[in-house]
Structure 1
């Protein structure tokens, strides 16, 4: 385990390899899970702020679900999350499926088109790293938790390209924790790799 400030980081974050392979998974993490995407308190306001901008990207059933349940809902296990569509394999209401089956995020689509400055919920951006708050909120645990079947192609591609999880997720890690945090993580990962090679 790696400890940086009050963050406890699983060794898998630096030892395992991962690169999303959308040609195989089709963005399935947007519909495969026990609830919608977790949202922090700040993101609740952001979802409210940009909803009308992303609304044109949403399916009619999604809009109806949002009008019925709200732009976010509270889950007893995960806290505030995006609603999902039970009629469509529990897909996130802010996701839409293209003709080839690829699932895209409405917020990310609007971001890519320069309409909004927010890419998507940080919980989505960080995946397959999942951040857990400590019991008393004074620390965080960062675990690497890919879906066994869905993410198998990503694990294979990451291994082929030799890209560690934390390097693939450099952008969201910096977005959430800052460049200094990432630089320290990178330094510790390099030392860990060097020490491992010496033992071989």
Structure 2
């Protein structure tokens, strides 16, 4: 068998395919670490939107279910039972994970999805489904980091997707640049919980 060297163009194509596949983040894959941040940095992530002049809707009391409409007509019902701000978390394998941005916000969540007449058979409920709104109005879009993904054993975490008719419960870990603010569902700003 004759071996041929891999050209630079082929290597670039392979790297682009890998990046695209990783950005899709199928179940079980860790989320990408945001660029422009370093471990232990207290600076906000690069994808923080400027403050908004629009008033925030009132926060939902912890333990109160909120219905989030899916684009195809399905309904995702979320209940956040608790929110805890932590300086570290137990990582898989017995180690301790430290936040990349400043604080971990650990949410205990129950999710139920009803597809109704929609074509969707599952709804996304992982950390990437949420944003953090700081007290000054800035919105932190990047809340899922390698550090937040390392927190807790898999059986303690909320699955990344909830299927039609299924109810799931578990922890969602967000990496936050602020110790106070709101956890907001990215699809519906009315689904917001104060921490």
Q: TM-score, length-normalised on structure 1? A: 0.23
Greater percentage in strand:
2
- The structure carrying a bigger helix percent of its residues is 1
* Structure showing greater relative contact order (alpha-carbon pairs closer than 8 Å, 6 or more residues apart): 1
TM-score (norm 2): 0.23
